[in-house]
């Protein structure tokens, strides 16, 4: 009951803020539009735009630029650097990319990004990877937030509508993130209330499987001088059908933010966001891979193991405030606090085993009801100071980050477990069991405190050195499912970072970089002990280029990752007392590879995103690790504007991947997904200056493929061909 009250209170508080902002935006007098007619407002507008927070934010913002790249980013180092002068392999998914490709969730973005891929776990969870390792680090406005896919509450289904861009830094990002895998960091950068005129859009869409969605985004100045501004973003999705039997989806998104110019050089932003996912017929796990005689199954893409009462509902609420001040000297101070609450209401049914080929008998049912609550508080403070020494300009940034996360998983005991019966006749009518009272199942409290310093030093006209380090304290404690307590910590962990950039000429640069790896793990071995932290080193070198005054970026990166204690599935072993997969720590693991990307504008009417990535990850004995991740991937998407008509299309290709699992006869088998390609196309027609219609079709060739294979010896299928038509009115 406490969770329900908390959720209701969060929604009420957020709804009040959103309603207030929405009414203020809609009712605000459009003074700037009126001033334009008199010719007296233009000077005021120009002065205000120059006095807020400086140039870096404008260079980074992608909304309204129609660009496939950005002028600046700071996810890797906290320094505002161009893509070309960031000494790591990076990608920026701009607002225009998300609109053109209809990328509506973080998972959609990951699937279109160079060197990054996703695999579904079940109907409401996905896992991300890069360079052969899991991605466990999501950032919002640069502040890391972590989650465990085992207790997911909608993290990988977060909507992209409220974000200006998504910055992805591949490789180790320990300088800013602290603990984390050497895979990638995904930074979601929110839209801001920065408009002094009434502007925005409303849109409606309809798609395959009775999919309907409406969205709204509007901004305006809330006072005559424009020093107070508001923005409201909202969306509602209703999908009454799916390519998977029984599955339905419903999603609501609300986001409200206010911007205050406290002075000519001080900006305050406050806001809140809320997303609610209410799916029905949710699967937990996948489809059985074998019949009981050891032969392989062959299900249709619509097959399911869900019941008509199952759901993986989730709610994500965030409150934030940040302030930034620009000093006359050029120094900048930034401070932010955010609080996020993820809640999951997981009423699920897990089917395990292998059915008899003829009778369909032999499947086992495990109905479970979990209530998940993850609360995280974040504090982020940093200061940047430009200075001169030796006749050259330099910059230093120092910062402090603190995060505290509390995870509580409650479970209701099942009082009955009806038999599955003939799985061949499965239609989801499996009866919901009687449930007992809710009790605490597991808990986990994690706290991280980190301080860092990084400097950009101009050693010579063409040579820059970026050097820094972070020191972190990390601790976690909690209760396992059997009631036992655990606690471990790591203090004063040093994470160095270094990058050297050489400007070959005005277009081309070369770089090398280095970073340490440190990542505590919650994987357990077959004895129930937790694995030691993952440790290692990350090396990278590359070439980058800027063309057409920065409108087109190109990069080539080569990398090597060395690490110990990498968690690998111990096939056939489970954690004592349960069904969770047991892991062993692989030593001497290395990952080598390279990535190529080209993104931006080839001409005024032609945008392009193109990437290729490949790696080879092995342990000390030369055996491949993390084979479930594709070793080679390619992505392409391009659009060309013909007057009012814009046509676009592209493809996603990935090499084969596999896992090993034991069949019902106890024999080890290789479960493999062959290489495949997905083709996506779009067309947009600009009816007039305000009205447009856009059609997106994904998986145009209707390729049948596994979205995951081998997870708990099961598998799932990706979506067949589907389309969506969106009509948008901008004002």
**Any residues with CB less than 8 A from the CB of 405 and at least 6 apart, and which?**
145, 146, 374, 375, 376, 377, 444, 445, 446, 447
pLDDT tens by residue, 197-228: 999 999 999 999 999 999 999 999 999 999 99
Q: In this predicted structure, which of 458-472, 523-537, 566-580 has the lowest mean pLDDT?
A: 566-580
Cα distance between residue 357 and residue 353, in whole Å: 12
Rounded (5°) CA angle 6-10-13 = 135
**pLDDT exceeds cutoff 50 at 6:** no
**Mean per-residue pLDDT, 657-686:** 94
Note the Cα 452 to chain centre separation in Å.
24
**Any residues with CB less than 8 A from the CB of 223 and at least 6 apart, and which?**
none
Predicted pLDDT at 89: 96
pLDDT tens by residue, 357-380: 999 999 999 999 999 999 999 999
At residue 25 the predicted structure's pLDDT band, cuts being 50, 70 and 90, is: low
At residue 10 the predicted structure's pLDDT band, cuts being 50, 70 and 90, is: very low
100: enclosing H helix or E strand? helix 95-101
Number of H helices, E strands in the chain: 7, 37
Order of all β-strands in the sheet with 143-146: 90-94, 163-170, 184-190, 137-140, 143-146
Q: CATH classification of 2-730 is 2.40.170.20, yes or no? A: yes
**Mean per-residue pLDDT, 153-174:** 92
Q: In this predicted structure, which of 44-48, 112-116, 307-311 has the lowest mean pLDDT?
A: 44-48
What would the DSSP string read from start to end of 110-131? HHTSTTEEEEEEETTEEEEEET
Average pLDDT, the chain: 90
Q: In this predicted structure, which of 138-152, 455-469, 597-611 has the lowest mean pLDDT?
A: 138-152
Predicted pLDDT at 53: 40
Q: Are 238 and 212 in contact (CB under 8 A)?
A: yes
**Mean per-residue pLDDT, 587-612:** 96
Give the 3-state secondary structure of residue 92. strand
In percent, the amount of the chain with pLDDT more than 90 equals: 75
Phi, psi of 593 (to 5 degrees): 180, -170
pLDDT tens by residue, 254-274: 999 999 999 999 999 999 999
Predicted pLDDT at 694: 98
**Any residues with CB less than 8 A from the CB of 603 and at least 6 apart, and which?**
none
Q: Structural domain boundaries of the chain?
A: 2-730
**pLDDT exceeds cutoff 60 at 157:** yes
33: enclosing H helix or E strand? helix 31-38
Alpha helices in 185-307 (DSSP H): none
Cα distance between residue 524 and residue 181, in whole Å: 17
27: enclosing H helix or E strand? helix 2-27
Predicted pLDDT at 28: 55
């Amino acid at each position: 009951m406490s969770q329900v009250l908390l959720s209701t209170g969060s929604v009420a508080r957020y709804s009040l803020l959103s309603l207030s902002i929405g009414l203020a935006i809609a009712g605000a007098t459009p003074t700037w539009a009126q001033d334009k007619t008199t010719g007296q407002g233009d000077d005021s507008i120009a002065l205000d735009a120059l006095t807020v927070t400086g140039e870096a934010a404008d260079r980074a913002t992608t909304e309204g630029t129609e660009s496939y790249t950005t002028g600046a980013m700071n996810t890797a180092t906290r320094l505002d650097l161009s893509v070309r002068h960031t000494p790591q392999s990076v990608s920026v998914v701009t607002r225009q990319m998300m609109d053109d490709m209809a990328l509506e969730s973080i998972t959609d973005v990951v699937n279109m990004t160079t060197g990054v891929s996703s695999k579904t776990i079940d109907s409401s969870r996905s896992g991300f990877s890069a360079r052969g390792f899991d991605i466990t680090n999501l950032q919002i406005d640069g502040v890391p937030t972590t989650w465990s896919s085992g207790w997911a509450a909608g993290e990988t289904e977060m909507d992209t509508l409220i974000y200006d861009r998504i910055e992805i830094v591949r490789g180790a990002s320990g300088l800013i993130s602290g603990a984390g895998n050497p895979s990638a960091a995904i930074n979601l950068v929110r839209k801001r209330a920065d408009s002094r005129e009434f502007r925005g859009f409303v849109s409606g869409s309809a798609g395959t499987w009775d999919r309907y969605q409406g969205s709204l985004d509007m901004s305006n100045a809330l006072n005559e001088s424009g020093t107070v501004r508001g923005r409201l973003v909202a969306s509602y999705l209703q999908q009454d059908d799916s390519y998977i039997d029984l599955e339905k989806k419903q999603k609501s998104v609300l986001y409200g933010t206010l911007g205050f110019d406290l002075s000519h050089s001080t900006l305050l932003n406050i806001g809140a966001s809320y997303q609610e996912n209410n799916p029905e017929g949710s699967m937990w796990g996948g489809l059985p891979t074998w019949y009981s005689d050891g032969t392989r199954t062959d299900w249709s893409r619509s097959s399911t193991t869900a019941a008509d009462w199952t759901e993986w509902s989730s709610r994500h609420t965030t409150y934030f405030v940040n302030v930034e001040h620009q000093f006359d000297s050029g120094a900048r101070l930034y401070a932010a606090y955010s609080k996020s609450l993820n809640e999951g209401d997981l009423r699920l049914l897990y089917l395990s085993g292998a059915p008899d080929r003829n009778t369909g008998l032999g499947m086992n049912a495990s109905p479970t009801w979990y209530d998940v609550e993850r609360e995280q508080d974040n504090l982020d403070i940093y200061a940047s100071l430009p200075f001169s020494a030796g006749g050259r300009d330099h910059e230093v940034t120092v910062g402090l980050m603190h995060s505290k996360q509390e995870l509580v998983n409650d479970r209701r005991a099942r009082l009955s477990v009806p038999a599955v019966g003939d799985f061949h006749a499965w239609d989801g009518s499996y009866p919901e069991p009687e449930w007992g009272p809710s009790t605490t199942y597991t808990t986990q409290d994690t706290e991280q405190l980190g301080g860092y310093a990084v400097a950009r030093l101009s050693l010579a006209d063409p040579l820059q050195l970026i050097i820094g380090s972070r020191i972190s304290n990390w601790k976690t404690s909690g209760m396992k499912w059997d009631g036992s307590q655990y606690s471990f910590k790591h203090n004063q962990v040093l994470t160095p970072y270094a990058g050297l950039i050489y400007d070959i000429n005005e277009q081309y640069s070369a770089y090398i970089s280095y970073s340490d790896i440190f990542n505590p793990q919650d994987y357990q071995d077959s004895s129930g002990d937790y694995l030691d932290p993952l440790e290692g080193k990350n090396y990278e070198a590359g070439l980058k280029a800027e063309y057409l005054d920065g409108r087109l970026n190109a990069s080539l990166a080569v990398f090597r990752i060395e690490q110990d204690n990498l968690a690998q599935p111990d096939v056939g072993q489970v954690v004592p007392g349960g069904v969770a997969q047991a892991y062993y720590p692989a030593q001497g693991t290395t990952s080598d590879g390279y990535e190529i990307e080209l993104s931006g504008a080839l001409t005024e009417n032609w945008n392009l995103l193109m990437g290729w990535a490949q790696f080879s990850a092995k342990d000390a004995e030369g055996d491949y690790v993390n084979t479930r991740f594709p070793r080679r991937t390619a992505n392409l998407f391009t659009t060309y504007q013909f007057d009012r008509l814009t046509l676009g299309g592209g493809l996603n290709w990935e090499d084969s991947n596999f896992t090993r699992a034991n069949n019902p006869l106890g024999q080890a088998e290789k479960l493999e997904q062959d290489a495949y390609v997905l083709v996506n196309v779009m067309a947009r027609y600009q009816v007039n200056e305000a009205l447009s219609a856009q059609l997106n079709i994904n998986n145009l060739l209707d390729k049948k493929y596994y979205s995951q294979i081998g997870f708990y010896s099961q598998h799932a299928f990706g979506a067949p061909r589907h389309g969506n038509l969106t009509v948008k009115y901008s004002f």
